[in-house]
Structure 1
Amino acid sequence: MQEYTLKTKFAALDVPQAIEYLMDFGKIIEKAFEYRDSRPRLLGNLLVLERYCNTVQLGGAPEGFCSEHFAEYFADSCPDPYEWIAVEWSCDLLMQLVSIEGGRVDYENFEECGKLDLYWVPYVLEIIQVGVCGWLASAIVASNREADSEKSMTQVYNSLSREIVMYVQKDLKTALWAAPMEYEALRKEYGQYTLIPEQYAGVLKNDRRKKKRRRKK
């Protein structure tokens, strides 16, 4: 079995290898950060989280999701499913940091931890691949009537998935080696990044505009 790391060139893997890599991605991340303290671990989370939030803001997220429990806290601005993931991710990081620093976390499902984990990174990567990549592939292929739809969808989906994984690899490697004095500059830099390649971002923006028009009606 091939040994994979964050330095593995994901674009060069064949389909079975890519699947194997993604199945082990959580373990690959933890191994890379095994001897690192919470600072690079937090930075790795935040860099990917920033990309994720910027992607969600482009549009393309499902609608119609707001339980009574969520509505109690968010009133008329209840997050949609993808937005709620960002809220949960942020809250989880905060609880872990409080616990690591010796604070008390009054949440029955919370387990004390010695180090900040990177659980959300592979989890969100999978969500984006399954949800957004699949939807984008369908939208792009549907706009090209001359294309072989099944073949084109597979090509677009694979291309998107590979680029997204490489973005995340880059972010985590950046977090591993960035000096604390670089953190502020990285925060500003990542304000412009998404998980979706620029050439596909317009599709999400158009979908967002359509949703706004439907709401006005």
Structure 2
Amino acid sequence: MREYCGPTFVEAWRGCAGVRHQNGRWPPAWLLPTPRATVRSQTYGEWRRLPWRGWLQRVFCQQCGAPTEQREIQDTPRPVCTSCGTVVYLDPKLAVALVIERGGRFLLGRRGEGTREAGKWGFPAGYVDRGEVVEAAAVREAREEVGLEVVLGPLLGLLSTEGESVVLAVFAAEIAEGEPVAGDDLIELGWFTPDALPPLAFAHDQHILTAWHDWRGAGALHSTMR
């Protein structure tokens, strides 16, 4: 699962051009290819380091390159350009997760070094690319993360948490072709029963299990009513 989807080179260049325009010189470290960026605080005048994820949207206006500041817009704190007044609306990021079950066991992957919650386990998952059909993204992530061609089942649910930027679409899936092979940021795969799960990486993994059990239970109930 990709950890970051950030600004383009042109967007970042425009943002740093705004810093140069405001301060008369470039930041001391031009770090576009690196995970962090250095900018100068407009309030205090000192250089400070900001997380790369989303730093452009928090600091610079993508219309004119000027810095932004937090203001209450429609009862929500939002970045607003201090020069042209453009409001930056930070949209959620859509991701997909797959529940691949075989013989009463779930396919989980162990996360590698350099990822969030490294060493823990989770369902195959990844981000949807801009312009990509959600179902196609789920099939692609199965191929990239666990080396499988899958046939998607129903959408089990949409999971979101207040304060989090990611919305997770969870699909049931069946193996159509291939054998599981760890790929992308996973270092190991395993099949686990619901009562013998390894340490799970995220709180939403338990919600995924609940959604799957609810779907299975509804299917069994429907069968008995026929």
Q: Which TM-score band applies after superposition, normalised by the shorter structure?
A: under 0.3
Higher Rg of the two aligned structures: 2
Query: RCO greater where, 1 or 2, for CA within 8 Å and sep 6 or more?
Result: 1
Structure with the higher helix share, 1 or 2: 1
Task: Give the TM-score taking structure 2 as reference length.
Answer: 0.23
- Length-normalised TM-score, structure 1: 0.24
